[in-house]
Structure 1
């Protein structure tokens, strides 16, 4: 029986662990925090419950696939609820545009705001479906374990068909002439921590997931996904060690034979999977001598993705006018990304996103549980309390009684992400997708320097977002199984 260690109990690590454990491997997860799920972290303040992230769930079948052939069914653990009218977008002039999976509702709204967009909306849906289907077939289903995988003829052919040389903002201009509508669909770049003015049009496929397949939430909170995975892994015989931080991989002749934790404990394993940020994990856990050609200086050249300034605000009375997903857009969307990526500062006039899961599921929390997110640079942010007050004043002008109703609050910054999750410079997704190279040639899932070391998570292939991270974990597990064969208990 092969003993495998997974460093980090995020969704990718949990997915890999469940598949490997179900195939007869003995898997141990070592997790620095007290919870499983990584950024899918529950936050409770009295009677208020918040999902730190992710707030938007798509592709529920990916999560269900984790338990395939394990004897367990995710539907026995939780219920996915489809949000047919999922995001209420509010423009600077007060115009409201609600995204819906029903094309007739979308066209009716578009007719009032942008008649030209209404006339080509079906064309838009057709094109984003094409982009998604190509990506689903060519990019999602396999781990990247060597340069040969990137050079695969089918992948290369698919690459040329997904608009890699066009920017997302340019793509959206073809279908939406109204600048505020462009902001709505350009916002998909932030789902992968990037700028719509720099990232490839390929990511317009996210629109297919939201506008056709649908946005989902989990009854009782999205964190129940991680809780279910944790329970299944334990029932399969896996082991999770919490509050234990891996300090270094022990490497000899290009093979990792074990690791040492900050408590001084040495663990020995046959194979290791790192479920964490690629840059910081590689720098912190692998000596430079064991990764020739990849010094710290080279790793530091990666551009970090967007980070976030997050306010969790519990309001005493339920606010029925705040939708499950609600977005307030600024006048100048382009300047927001200049502030973040060029000037490394919080936007002067930010997009304000609110997740209000109590809108859909009143049982999840007392009152209104507002998860308020501002896109931020992956950098230290000074004077966060004055910025918080600025956000509160803005929302109060929009009619949300924050300070009048506020019963509890908690703030998270890029420094919080760096501390909690070893996130690269405090970023959410590790590496941005602002360049074509980092969008398509993300770090592979197998180390080039250590034979038995694999990577999973949002900073590696196939990318960020909870479904992608889960796919990454499954792909890594399948690659390990393919290389070793499965081990069955008698």
Structure 2
């Protein structure tokens, strides 16, 4: 029985561990934090409960599939609630557009806000459906472990058909004319931590997921997905060690032979699956001489995705204008992305996202709203953030919300701030990036670091920095994809 060590217990690591255990591998999973699920974790403040992230769930069948691989019934572990009207978008001058998977509702709103968009909406849905179907058939379910994986004729044909040379913003302009509607749709680029003015139109398939298939919430909190994976991993025979920080991967003759942890214990292995952030962990855990084709310089050459400045706030009141998801947009979105990616600084007038899960599940905030408030932030720079900056930026966000009618100050029971530096430290995220590599450059959008090390024949990668990309469904798929590749290669 082949021994596999999985480094990192995020959704990618858990899905690969479950998949490999189901195929007869002896799997040990090592996680540096005390919880599994990575950024998908629960935070409690008094009687209020929060998902740190992700707050928006799409493609629920992917998570159910992992549980089925273990032989368990997903209905006994997960209850997904569809949010038919899921995201309220509010412009800086007070316009409102509620995103919904109900196409008639969308067209009715657009008829008032963007008549051109209303007329083109069915054509728009048809095109993003095509993009999604191409992505699903040619990209999502494949691992890229060698050069030959990139040479498939079908892959080349599909690549040419997913609008790789057109920007996401330019794509939306083909169908919509109102600046606010374009802004609301452009925000989908942040789901991959990128800029809509640069990243490829291919990623309009994200709009398909929300506007056609719909947005979901997991009853009890989205962190229940990680809890379910942990339970079925144990049932499947996976050995799980939490509070166990990996310090090195021992390599001999181009093979990983053992994984060492902070207390000096070593875990001999036949294979290693790394779910820790590839750009940060690979250089940290493997000596540079053992990875000549992925040098420290190469690792540093990738552009990190955006990070986040987050305030978790428990209130003693409820704001009736908030849906489960609400976004308050800045007046100059293009300027905001220039600040994030070019100037590498916090936006002076940030777009603010709020998740208020107590709208759907009131017990998550018994005393009032449980607000997960997020503003996009730049990746961590070498120079440290100025003293007191977090408090000042929090107050900027609160004052912006106050102007939009959402009272924060004076209503707070408890609050907690989470910065990009915190994300970098707790989750080992490369420069605090939420989604690994940004998709602003074509090579990074379509040719992310492959799922297998070029210099170490039995080291595999899963998670947001590798194929098929960031976001909870994609990293979960990466775990299953890599497990399938390992089974094929090792014929276990």
Q: Which residue of 2 aligns with 1:377?
A: 378
1:345–1:381 contact (8 Å) kept in structure 2: no
Q: Which residue of 1 aligns with 2:270?
A: 270
**Deviation of the 1:478 alpha carbon:** 0.7
Superposition map of 1:276-291 within 5 A: 276-291=276-291
Take 2:486 and 2:78, find their aligned partners in 1: how far apart are those partners?
Answer: 29
1:37–1:226 contact (8 Å) kept in structure 2: yes
Q: Deviations over 1:228-257 (max 9, x none)?
A: 000111112211111111111000000000
1:4–1:272 contact (8 Å) kept in structure 2: yes
Q: Which residue of 1 aligns with 2:349?
A: 349
Q: 1:189 to 1:286 in 2, by over 3 A?
A: same
Q: Deviations over 1:358-413 (max 9, x none)?
A: 11111233221100000000025431110101111111111111012101111111
Report the more deviating stretch, 296-305 or 118-127. 296-305
Q: Which residue of 2 aligns with 1:429?
A: 435
1:8–1:30 contact (8 Å) kept in structure 2: yes
1:19–1:67 contact (8 Å) kept in structure 2: no
Superposition map of 1:47-446 within 5 A: 47-366=47-366, 367-379=368-380, 380-382=384-386, 383-446=389-452
1:381–1:414 contact (8 Å) kept in structure 2: no
Take 1:190 and 1:238, find their aligned partners in 2: how far apart are those partners?
Answer: 34
Take 1:229 and 1:69, find their aligned partners in 2: how far apart are those partners?
Answer: 11
1:304–1:431 contact (8 Å) kept in structure 2: yes
Q: Which residue of 2 aligns with 1:468?
A: 474
**Deviation of the 1:135 alpha carbon:** 0.5
TM-score of the pair, normalised by structure 2: 0.97
Take 2:220 and 2:464, find their aligned partners in 1: how far apart are those partners?
Answer: 25
**Deviation of the 1:322 alpha carbon:** 1.4
Take 1:307 and 1:163, find their aligned partners in 2: how far apart are those partners?
Answer: 26
Q: Deviations over 1:144-164 (max 9, x none)?
A: 111111121111110000000
Q: Give RMSD over aligned pairs.
A: 0.9
Select 2:465's aligned residue among 450, 456, 459: 459
**Deviation of the 1:190 alpha carbon:** 0.3
Regions of 4+ moved over 6 Å: none
1:271–1:452 contact (8 Å) kept in structure 2: yes
**Deviation of the 1:318 alpha carbon:** 3.1
Q: Deviations over 1:257-301 (max 9, x none)?
A: 001111111111110000021110111011000011322122111
Report the more deviating stretch, 331-340 or 294-303. 294-303
2:70–2:233 contact (8 Å) kept in structure 1: no
Take 1:219 and 1:67, find their aligned partners in 2: how far apart are those partners?
Answer: 17
Take 2:293 and 2:478, find their aligned partners in 1: how far apart are those partners?
Answer: 25
Select 1:450's aligned residue among 437, 447, 456: 456
Q: Is 1:35 aligned with 2:41?
A: no
Q: Deviations over 1:9-63 (max 9, x none)?
A: 0000000111111121111110000101001011111211100000000000111
Take 1:113 and 1:451, find their aligned partners in 2: how far apart are those partners?
Answer: 55
Q: Deviations over 1:165-190 (max 9, x none)?
A: 00001001111111111011111100
Aligned length, in residue pairs: 486
What stretches of structure 1 of length at least 5 have no aligned partner? none
Take 1:396 and 1:478, find their aligned partners in 2: how far apart are those partners?
Answer: 50
TM-score of the pair, normalised by structure 1: 0.98
Q: Which residue of 2 aligns with 1:485?
A: 491
Q: Deviations over 1:79-111 (max 9, x none)?
A: 100010010000111111101111111111111
2:293–2:455 contact (8 Å) kept in structure 1: no
1:251–1:257 contact (8 Å) kept in structure 2: yes
